Amino acid sequence: MNIRTSDILVCGKSIKECLADIEAFHGFTAPGLVLGTFMVDWARELVGSDVEADAIVETRHCLPDAIQIFTPCSFGNGWMKVLDWGKFALSLYDKKTLEGYRVWLDLEKARQFPNIYNWYMHLVPKKELPLEVLTGTMIEAKREVLSSCAIRVTQFYESPKKGKIEICSGCGEAYPAVQGSQCLTCQGKGYYEKCQVSGVGS
Q: Binding residue for its own copies (CB under 8 A) from 79, 90, 119, 137?
A: 79
Residues 135 and 5: beta-carbon distance below 8 Å: no
- Residue 133 C-beta: closest distance to its own copies, Å: 21
Host H or E run for residue 102: strand 99-105
Interface with Zn ion, residue 168, by CB under 5 A: yes
Q: Which of residues 1 and 113 has its CB atom nearest to its own copies in the complex?
A: 113
Provide CB contacts within 8 A for 32, sequence distance 6+.
Answer: 61, 62, 63, 66, 88
Interface with its own copies, residue 106, by CB under 8 A: yes
Mask 26-55, x = binds its own copies (CB under 8 A)? xxx-x--x------------x---------
Q: Which of residues 106 and 140 has its CB atom nearest to its own copies in the complex?
A: 106
Dist. CA 1–CA 136, nearest whole Å: 7
Interface with its own copies, residue 116, by CB under 8 A: no
| Closest by CA position to 180, among listed 31, 18, 189 | 189
Q: Binding residue for Zn ion (CB under 5 A) from 78, 163, 170, 190?
A: 170
Q: Binding residue for Zn ion (CB under 5 A) from 121, 171, 177, 178?
A: 171
Q: Which of residues 165 and 171 has its CB atom nearest to Zn ion in the complex?
A: 171
Residue 151 sits at the vertex; the CA angle it makes with 145 and 158, to the nearest 5 degrees, is: 120
Dist. CA 166–CA 184, nearest whole Å: 13
Interface with Zn ion, residue 180, by CB under 5 A: no
User: Would you list the DSSP string of 21-54?
Assistant: HHHHHHSS--HHHHHHHHHHHHHHHHH-TTS-EE
- Choose the contact partner of 186 out of its own copies, Zn ion, none; CB within 5 to 8 A by kind: Zn ion
Binding site residues, Zn ion, CB under 5 A: 168, 170-171, 183, 186
